[in-house]
Structures are given as C-alpha cells and as structure tokens.
C-alpha cells in the first residue's frame, strides 16, 4: 500500500510517468527538468512495479488454485454432506427434518421423529432467504431501470412474475461466478445437475407433446431465451462474459430458479433447505413467515418417523404444468385441467364464472365434468349465437340464480355438449398423433424424456376417453 501511494504521488509529475517529461511534483519538489533524477526515480519505481506485479500474479494464481466453481455437468454428484454442515453453520434448525438422499438425482425430506399437526419441523433464518426484493433494491439496484424496460413487471408466466424471477436468475449466476468464495456455494453444490424441464427437451421430444403442454413448454423456452437476451445486454461486472456465454450454466441456473422459487408477498423467494421438499397434491407441510422474515415449516397433520415431508407447488390439477416447468409427472390428483383454450385472454367475466386451472377440471376416475366447465363453455358458445342470452346467463350466475342458469343450460345443452365433445375428440386425435411420433423414437434411449412424456399423454388419453363416453351419452339423450 505504501509503494502504491508513492507511485501515485510521483505520477502527478506531468500527469504521466515519463523518463524525459518535464514538470514539478508539487509535494516533493522533484524538478522534472533534471533527467538524471527522473531516470533514477523511474528505474526505482519500475522495479517496485515489477515486484508488485509479480506479487499480484502470485496472489492471483494462488487464489485460482483455491477457488473452484460448481461442476454443472449432468454426471456430477450432488454434495449433501457439505450442504448439511453449511445449513447448520448458518442457523438452520432441522427439528424434525432429515434429508432423504436417494440414489442419483432425486432428493427429498422426511420426518426424523413423531410429529403432530401444528408443530414445527424446520427453521430457516431470514438471512438465508434469496429474495427478489433485496436483490432488486440492493445488489442490482443500478440495473433496475433497464431491467424494467426489458422485462415488463406485469409480464407473468401463470402465477409467476418474470421480473422477480430474473433477479433471482442474476443472483444465482453471480454466486456461481464466485465459486467456493460464495456463501451459497454449498447450497448450489447440492442442487440437481439433471433437469427434465421443457428448457431441456430436444426437438423430437417437443414434437411428441400435445398442444396444451406444448404451449406451456414453448412459453418456458421463450422465457429462457428472454432471460438470456436481457442478460447479454446488461453490464454486470460480477457476472463474466464467459459465464453468460455458457449455456450449460445459464440453463442450470434458470431451472433452479423456476423449480425452486415461491411467491411471497408479491416477490419471489428461494428458501434453502425448505426447497428440498418434494411436491404433493395433498401436502403435509405449510410454509410460514414470522415478522422478522424467518421461515417456519409447520406440519398440517401428524407424521411418523420416515414419513415424507411435502408441500404443494401450486396448480395441483394441472399435471401438464409440472411436466413442462418442473420436469416430473404427477397422476395423483383426482381431477385434471380440461385444457380448454390455452393462451387465450381470460376476461374478468370468465374468471367470475370459474375459469381457473383448479376449477376447470375433468374427474379422473369417472370422466365427470365440473360445473365450471359447463358454465364457461355455455357462456363462450352464447357469444356467437345469442348475446342477450349470454348476458342473461352471466347475470344469473352473479346473483346466484341457479334456476335461471339451469334453464339456459338445458335450452342450449346440445350446443355446449357438441362444443365440449369436439374439444375432447380433437385432444384425443392429437394424442394419437403424438403416440405415433413417439413410437418412432423408441423407449427413450436416444430421447431421455420420452418415458415421462408418454406417461403424461397416456394419463390424459385415459381421462379424456372417459369424458368422451359421458358426453356421447348426454348427446344421445338430448337427441
């Protein structure tokens, strides 16, 4: 530091360091007109600079030897030992919570002892939360105007605010860049290396998706492309150009964000250790926050030692969303989304009629059709054939007039039944085309996600076939 101060002091001479420059150093009164003095000073400081450069190079090389980044290759193992030690060091309290480290890529959590409903199983201090709010307002605050311009804050992916997720994306890229110097290194090193989300599907696998899940998959792939485009436009000293250009890293980080972030008070959070919980449509864990922002995982019902601990990832009746965005297939819910009109603009009137994934459902066991499906189909059908009846139906719905609604349903049953039957038959035809396409790709040896896609498509086909049988019976009765 002293050498550097002296160098800066003498560089004031003529503004730059020069053997033959002229001028006077205002502090030490060295006359720039005396070449011999300048040469002596120059030689001395050049030697000092060379020694300092050698020391800095040695320090840099030593640092490089001591710092390494997470290995994101698909064959790299997840490190659970370092992660558990890291969590304990930073104040995570696993009161009734054990990591269930299964073979390969699949982890989870299980109860370590008997527990009763309302008791806490895990405590995570607020300082460990990775929050879009703190990232936006602190670490990447100077970039906020440009990010707001490039990613509209109102843009959403279902229930996901893309701008919030983009800040998480930046944060994790920064932590990856820091390697084992990052306080989150052990958590990152415990992340899955293999993901089966839509971002990872190859072209053949995309061709095997029926329209609704293909719509979801394309949306996720578009979001990744958008994140990458915005990232390349930002000046981020803490994220190198090499990291930005490494698609293995950017896809890995994108998948971590979109499979682990959760909505929290209008922001997006990732909660280390809590994020190890797997999904269940009937979860036994509730995630709660206290006034200081600490996280408490509380049991919703009693558990025994070894019982799996789980939370709901949202939209449990939409297995196509889990396939595209999370990379797994869940056939456990008793109902599934009817897959009407993907991507359409859902008006407030449709929302009031029940246009939500959780309510617009077919029943898996018997092919039953939810009331909301009939209501939305009738309202949409009447728009083209009788707008006055459409308004009458909507008004009856809003005031709870079940009798008028039932009369209108009976009057136009042939139309709504035909419309639903057409949708179901088109879906089944598309699934048959996907089946033929998959048969050309084998059992998944060349395309690793085909078995999961096949299970999803079989599930949808079986449910929709039952619905078709019911609709044909209803149509026969009307005729």
Question: pLDDT tens-digit profile of 298-343?
Answer: 999 999 999 999 999 888 888 899 999 999 999 889 999 998 876 5
Name the pLDDT band for 346 (thresholds 50, 70, 90).
confident
Q: What per-residue confidence (pLDDT) applies to 50? A: 57
Query: How far apart are alpha carbons 390 and 398 in whole angstroms?
Result: 12
Matching residue, tokens 């719905």: 397
244 alpha carbon, distance to own chain's centre: 18
- Per-residue pLDDT tens for 417-461? 999 999 999 999 999 999 998 888 665 568 899 999 999 999 999
Q: What per-residue confidence (pLDDT) applies to 191? A: 95
Q: What per-residue confidence (pLDDT) applies to 186? A: 95
Query: How far apart are alpha carbons 469 and 367 in whole angstroms?
Result: 8
Tell me which residue of 170, 293, 180, 324 sits closest to 233, measured CA to CA: 170
Tell me, what DSSP letter sits at residue 31?
A: B
Q: What sections of 262-412 are H helices per DSSP?
A: 319-321, 348-353, 371-385, 387-398, 402-411
Query: How far apart are alpha carbons 269 and 319 in whole angstroms?
Result: 23
The SS3 of residue 411 is: helix
Query: How far apart are alpha carbons 216 and 324 in whole angstroms?
Result: 6
Average pLDDT rounded to a whole number, residues 182-192: 96
**In sequence order, what are the residues at sequence separation of 6 or more whose Cβ sits closer than 8 angstroms to the Cβ of residue 370?**
335, 338, 354, 359, 360, 361, 362, 363
Is the pLDDT reported for residue 11 higher than 50? no
Tell me if 208 sits within 8 A of 217, measured CB to CB: no
The SS3 of residue 268 is: strand
Name the pLDDT band for 243 (thresholds 50, 70, 90).
very high
Q: What per-residue confidence (pLDDT) applies to 126? A: 95
Q: For a pLDDT cut of 90, what percent of the chain falls above it?
A: 70
Is the pLDDT reported for residue 6 higher than 50? no
> 316 vs 166, which has greater pLDDT?
166
Helix (H) or strand (E) holding 263: strand 262-264
Q: What per-residue confidence (pLDDT) applies to 64? A: 44
Q: What per-residue confidence (pLDDT) applies to 314? A: 84
Q: What per-residue confidence (pLDDT) applies to 81? A: 86
Tell me if 324 sits within 8 A of 350, measured CB to CB: no
Is the pLDDT reported for residue 463 higher than 70? yes
**pTM, rounded to two decimals:** 0.82
Mean pLDDT: which of 32-41, 44-53, 100-109, 248-257 is highest? 248-257
| Angstrom distances, CA of residue 347 to CA of 285, 350, 355 | 34, 5, 9
**In sequence order, what are the residues at sequence separation of 6 or more whose Cβ sits closer than 8 angstroms to the Cβ of residue 420?**
369, 373, 377, 467, 471
Q: What per-residue confidence (pLDDT) applies to 311? A: 94
Tokens (6 digits) for 347: 């008006």
Is the pLDDT reported for residue 154 higher than 70? no
Mean pLDDT: which of 12-21, 28-37, 100-109, 117-126 is highest? 117-126
> 296 vs 15, which has greater pLDDT?
296
Residue 410 has a CB neighbour count (10 Å cut-off) of 10
Is the pLDDT reported for residue 397 higher than 80? yes
Average pLDDT rounded to a whole number, residues 19-45: 48
Matching residue, tokens 């050698």: 54
Tell me which residue of 123, 124, 114, 118 sits closest to 299, measured CA to CA: 118
Query: How far apart are alpha carbons 315 and 339 in whole angstroms?
Result: 13
Q: What per-residue confidence (pLDDT) applies to 53? A: 55
> 50 vs 476, which has greater pLDDT?
476
Pick the range with the lowest mean pLDDT from 35-39, 140-144, 312-316: 35-39
DSSP-assigned beta bridge partners for residue 64: none
What sign for the dihedral angle of Cα 220, 222, 228, 230?
A: negative
DSSP-assigned beta bridge partners for residue 278: 310
Helix (H) or strand (E) holding 450: helix 450-478
Q: What letters, b where the CB count within 10 A reaches 16 and e where it falls short, cover 432-446?
A: eebeeebeebeeeee
Average pLDDT rounded to a whole number, residues 225-243: 95
Is the pLDDT reported for residue 14 higher than 50? no
Query: How far apart are alpha carbons 88 and 446 in whole angstroms?
Result: 41
The Cα angle at residue 269 between residues 282 and 173, in degrees rounded to 5:
125
Tell me which residue of 277, 256, 238 sits closest to 121, measured CA to CA: 277
Name the pLDDT band for 30 (thresholds 50, 70, 90).
very low
Is the pLDDT reported for residue 121 higher than 50? yes
Strand pairing class (295-299; 285-289): antiparallel
Tell me, what DSSP letter sits at residue 92?
A: -
Name the pLDDT band for 379 (thresholds 50, 70, 90).
very high
Query: How far apart are alpha carbons 434 and 320 in whole angstroms?
Result: 15
> 360 vs 9, which has greater pLDDT?
360
The SS3 of residue 157 is: strand
Is the pLDDT reported for residue 292 higher than 70? yes
Q: What per-residue confidence (pLDDT) applies to 277? A: 94
């Amino acid at each position: 530091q002293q050498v550097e101060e002296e160098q800066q002091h003498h560089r004031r001479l003529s503004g730059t360091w020069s053997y033959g420059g002229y001028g006077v150093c205002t502090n030490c009164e060295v006359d720039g007109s005396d070449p011999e003095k300048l040469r002596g000073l120059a030689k001395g400081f050049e030697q000092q600079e060379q020694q300092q450069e050698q020391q800095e190079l040695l320090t840099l090389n030593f640092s490089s030897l001591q710092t390494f980044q997470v290995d994101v290759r698909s064959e790299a193992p997840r490190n659970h030992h370092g992660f558990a030690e890291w969590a304990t060091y930073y104040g995570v309290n696993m009161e009734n919570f054990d990591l269930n480290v299964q073979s390969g890529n699949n982890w989870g959590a299980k109860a370590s002892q008997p527990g009763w409903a309302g008791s806490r199983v895990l405590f995570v201090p607020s300082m460990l939360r990775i929050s879009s709010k703190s990232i936006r307002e602190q670490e990447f605050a100077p970039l906020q105007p440009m990010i707001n311009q490039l990613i509209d804050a109102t843009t959403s992916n279902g229930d996901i605010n893309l701008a919030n997720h983009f800040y998480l994306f930046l944060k994790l890229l920064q932590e990856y860049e820091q390697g084992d110097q990052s306080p989150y290194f052990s958590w990152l090193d415990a992340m899955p290396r293999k993901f089966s989300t839509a971002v990872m599907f190859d072209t053949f696998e995309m061709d095997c998706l029926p329209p609704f899940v293909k719509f979801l998959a394309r949306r996720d792939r578009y979001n990744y492309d958008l994140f990458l485009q915005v990232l390349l436009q930002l000046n981020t000293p803490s994220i190198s150009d090499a990291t930005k250009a490494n698609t293995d890293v950017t896809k890995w980080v994108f998948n971590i964000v979109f499979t682990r972030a959760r909505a929290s008070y209008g922001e997006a959070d990732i909660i280390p250790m809590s994020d190890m919980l797997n999904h269940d449509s009937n979860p036994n864990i509730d995630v709660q926050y206290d006034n200081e922002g600490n996280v408490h995982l509380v049991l919703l019902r009693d558990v025994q030692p070894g019982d799996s601990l789980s939370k709901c990832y949202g939209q449990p009746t939409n297995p196509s969303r889990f396939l595209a965005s999370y990379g797994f297939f869940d056939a456990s819910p008793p109902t599934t989304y009817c897959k009407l009109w993907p991507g359409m603009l859902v008006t407030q009137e449709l929302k009031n009629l029940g246009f939500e994934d959780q309510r617009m459902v077919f029943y898996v066991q018997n092919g039953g059709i939810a009331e909301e499906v009939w209501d939305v189909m009738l309202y949409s059908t009447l728009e083209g054939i009788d707008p006055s009846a459409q308004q009458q139906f909507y008004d009856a719905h809003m005031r709870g007039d079940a009798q008028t609604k039932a009369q209108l349903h009976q009057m136009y049953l042939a139309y709504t039944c035909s419309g639903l039957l057409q949708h179901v038959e088109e879906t089944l035809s598309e699934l048959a085309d996907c089946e033929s396409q998959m048969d050309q790709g084998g059992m998944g040896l060349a395309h690793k996600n085909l078995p999961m896609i096949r299970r999803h498509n079989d599930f949808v086909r079986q449910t929709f076939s039952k619905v078709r049988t019911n609709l044909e019976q209803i149509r026969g009765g009307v005729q």
